[in-house]
Amino acid sequence: MKRQTAILGAPGAGKGTQAQQVCAQLNLEHLSTGDLLRAAVAAGSSAGLQAKNFMDAGNLVPDEVVFGVLFERLGNESSRTAKSDGYMLDGFPRNRVQAEELDRRLSEAAPSSQAQTLDVVVDICVPDERIVARLTGRRICKGCGRNYHVEFVKPKQDGVCDDCGGELYQRSDDTESVVMERLSVYHEQTAPLEVYYKEQGILVTVDGDRAVETVTQAVLDALSGNNVAGLS
Ligand code: AP5
């Protein structure tokens, strides 16, 4: 049985960092809607053209555009990582409409046609005051996408990826003003999903304000079935 999981959290909470680690260890496919949308922008596709201005401003891209890029990828087995044991969604869902659409599609795809949800949703929690420093200092590898930080997660050589030797760059939406807007959108539209998944009994909350390796272990524990909390 393939795992269907998601990682939630504020911008800069460490979703991408943790998903990269955990997916490599558990052989899961890492599906980041932010990455899919940035690839669409870079390719100049219709979805990318529709998404660009929303992303630059730190706002959510319209649901239909996001569904297009994500569900095309999810439904296309040949484009998926060979022999993965499932997937981890990163940055999706971002609001109630997206969460309900995902559940509807999971149920439709289930063999028994019974209501189906994700297996586990991991919610990485980091106080807002940590977020701006994390994001304005973030650097990403152009080659393999690995995340670094100029202070907290340094590469061995400045500006160069430890894994593939690729050049590190800064995302255009990692400026302080856009980060503040992304945080405000998160609190208004995404944070309420904690209740949605708690009601389904599949939410695990992880303290993300600790060393990267400590958080990774907590996420692995969460995925192994420990600490899943129902509505309290
Ligand atoms: P997206 O790419 O999803 O961005 P985000 O949610 O804002 O999250 P980030 O990628 O910025 O942060 P992260 O949590 O992955 O943190 P990271 O691990 O990199 O979305 C971008 C845009 O696309 C959105 O604004 C929206 O416009 C659009 N979009 C995407 N999905 C959408 C959807 N479903 N619907 C509508 N629109 C959508 O870590 C951050 C930094 O902190 C790094 O430098 C890292 O090295 C460092 N760090 C990580 N962990 C630690 C730690 N434990 N201690 C110290 N530093 C750490």
How confident is the model at residue 80, as a pLDDT?
A: 57
Q: Which residue from 15, 88, 187, 189 has its CB within 8 A of the most atoms of ligand 1, so it is best to mutate?
A: 15
User: What CA–CA distance (Å, rounded) separates 129 from 115?
Assistant: 39
How confident is the model at residue 115, as a pLDDT?
A: 72
Centre of ligand 1 from the C-alpha of residue 109, in Å: 29
Centre of ligand 1 from the C-alpha of residue 12, in Å: 5
Structural domains in the chain plus CATH codes = 3-28+84-127+176-224 (3.40.50.300)
- The 8-class DSSP code of residue 159 comes to T
* Active-site residue, 146 included: no
Q: What are the φ/ψ torsions at residue 172 (nearest 5 degrees)?
A: -70, -20
How confident is the model at residue 230, as a pLDDT?
A: 39
* Active-site residue, 182 included: yes
User: What CA–CA distance (Å, rounded) separates 135 from 171?
Assistant: 9
CB 147 within 8 A of CB 140: yes
Q: What are the φ/ψ torsions at residue 195 (nearest 5 degrees)?
A: -70, -40
How confident is the model at residue 76, as a pLDDT?
A: 66
Q: Tens place of pLDDT for every residue, the chain, 232 residues? A: 789 999 999 999 999 999 999 999 999 999 999 999 999 999 999 999 999 999 999 999 999 999 999 998 887 665 555 588 999 999 999 999 999 999 999 988 877 767 788 999 999 999 999 999 999 999 999 999 999 999 999 999 999 999 999 999 999 999 999 999 999 999 999 999 999 999 999 999 999 999 999 999 999 999 987 554 433 2
* Active-site residue, 154 included: no
